[in-house]
Structure 1
Amino acid sequence: MIVAGLTGNIASGKSTVATFLRRSGALIIDADQIAHDVVAPGQPALEEIRRHFGDDMLTPEGLLNREKLGRMVFEDPDARRRLEAIVHPRVSAEIDRQMARIAENHPDAVVIMDIPLLFETGRTEGLTDIIVVYTPEPIQLERLTRRNGLSPAEAKARMASQMPLKEKVARATMVIDNSGTLAETERQTLAVYRRLARKARQ
C-alpha cells in the first residue's frame, strides 16, 4: 500500500481530480466529507459549535448553517481558528480510522488522502507523494464567484485564508494543472495514478 496526499486551494479543481483518481482505482479518504459528517446532527462537534458561535449557526431543522458560519470564519481569523480546533481533531481521528481499515483490507492499494488543508494541518508525514492541483488565481477567483455566488471581495477573502497555491506547488512531488480542459486534467490525473500504481507494485 502506498499513501499519497491530494491538495489544492478552494476552487482549484481538487474534487474533480479526486473523482478521476477514484475512477482509475485509487481508494480515496475524503477529508471534506468527513468534515461534513462530524458536524451532522447529533454529533458532539455540532453542539460545541452551537455553544461557541450561537444558536443562529443552526438552521431551523437543526443543521449547521454552513453559509452563515462560513462568512463569519472567513472574515474573522480568531473564529476560524476556534472552528478548526473543534473540527480538525475529529476529522484527523476519522482519517486514522479509515486508514487502518484500508491497511487491513487492501494492503496493495493506492490510497489518496484528499485533504484541502494538507500542509496547514501537518498531515504530510509518511506520504509517498504529494499531489497539488494548480489553477491560476484569476481562474480560481472566477470559478469561486460563479460556483458559490460570492462577490469578488468575499471570494478573495476565502482564497487569502489558505496557504498560497504557489507555495503548495513548490512543496509538491506531482502537480496537476487544472487551468485547461477537463480532458487535459483527466489525462494528467491518469498519468499520476499510473505512476503511483507502479510504486505500489514495487
Structure 2
Amino acid sequence: MRVVGLTGGIGSGKSEVSRILKELGAPVIDADALTHQCQRRGQLVWRAVWDRYGWGILGPDGELLRRKLGHIIFHEASEREALNRIVHPAVKRQIQERLAELERQGSKVVVLDIPLLIEGEWRTQVDEIWVVYSDPHQQLARVMARDHIGPDEARRRIAAQMPLAEKVQYADHVIDNQGTLLSLREQVTQLWRNAHTIA
C-alpha cells in the first residue's frame, strides 16, 4: 500500500485539496478530524487537556473551546509543545490503526492528511509528500476570514508553523493553490491518477 503524505500551512488550502481527494474516492486519513475525536468530552485526551488548562477552556456543554485553546497555544510556544505531547500519541495510534485497516481492505493508495507532517516523524513514514502552496498574502487573507481574526493575530498563527517556502523543499509534488478552484481540482485529479499508476 502506497501512503501519500498531504500537508501545507495554515490557510494554504490543504482542507480543500483533501475534500477534492475524497470526492475522487481517495481514502483520506484526516489527522485534524482524529484530533477532534480524541478531544471530545470524556476522552482521555480531553481529560488531560482539562487537567492542564482548567475550566476556562470548556464550554457550557463540557466540550473544549477550540478558539480559546488556540489563543493560548498560538501565543505560547511552550504551551503548544505541551498540548502536542498530550494529543499526538493518541492521534498516532488512531492513524496506525486506520492504516492497518485500509491495508486489510486492499487499498492501493492512501492519503495521510497531517498539518505537521514535515515537522513530525511522519515525514519518514510516507512514500511521497504533497505540499499545498499559496502565496503569503492569500494565506493571510484566508486565515483572517476562516478564524475571524485581525491581521496581527493571523500573522502570529502563520509564524507559529514552518514557513510554506521551507515545506516545499521537502515536497515530491507541490500543489499550487494560487489560482482558481478549477486549476486546483485539475492538479489534484492528475496527481491522484499518477499515484495509482505508480502503485
TM-score, normalising length: structure 1? 0.96
Report the Cα distance in structure 2 between the residues aligned to 1:48 and 1:161, rounded to whole angstroms: 23
Report the Cα distance in structure 2 between the residues aligned to 1:181 and 1:58, rounded to whole angstroms: 39
Report the Cα distance in structure 1 between the residues aligned to 2:61 and 2:169, rounded to whole angstroms: 44
Asked if the contact 1:26/1:109 (under 8 Å) is kept, the reply is no
SS of aligned partner of 1:125: helix
Aligned length: 199
State the partner residue of 2:192. 193
State the partner residue of 1:93. 93
Report the Cα distance in structure 2 between the residues aligned to 1:73 and 1:140, rounded to whole angstroms: 20
Report the Cα distance in structure 1 between the residues aligned to 2:125 and 2:81, rounded to whole angstroms: 26
Runs of 4+ residues deviating >6 angstroms: none
TM-score, normalising length: structure 2? 0.98
SS of aligned partner of 2:67: helix
Residue 28 of structure 1: CA displacement?
0.3
State the partner residue of 1:110. 109
- Which residues of 2 match residues 174-193 of structure 1 at below 5 A? 174-193=173-192
Superposed CA deviations along residues 99-142 of structure 1, whole A, max 9, x for unmatched, are 01011112x42100000000112102232210000000111001
SS of aligned partner of 2:122: coil
Residue 54 of structure 1: CA displacement?
1.2
Superposed CA deviations along residues 35-66 of structure 1, whole A, max 9, x for unmatched, are 00000011011111111111111111100010
Q: Which amino acid aligns with 1:4?
A: V
Distance 1:183 1:70, change over 3 A: same
Report the Cα distance in structure 2 between the residues aligned to 1:54 and 1:70, rounded to whole angstroms: 14
Listed as ranges, the gaps of 5+ residues in structure 1 are: none
Q: Which amino acid aligns with 1:193?
A: W
**Structural RMSD (CA):** 0.9
Superposed CA deviations along residues 167-196 of structure 1, whole A, max 9, x for unmatched, are 110110001101111000000001110110
2:47 matched to 1:42? no
Q: Which amino acid aligns with 1:18?
A: S
SS of aligned partner of 1:123: helix
Q: Which amino acid aligns with 2:5?
A: G
Report the Cα distance in structure 2 between the residues aligned to 1:31 and 1:176, rounded to whole angstroms: 19
Listed as ranges, the gaps of 5+ residues in structure 2 are: none
Asked if the contact 1:27/1:109 (under 8 Å) is kept, the reply is no
Report the Cα distance in structure 2 between the residues aligned to 1:109 and 1:58, rounded to whole angstroms: 41
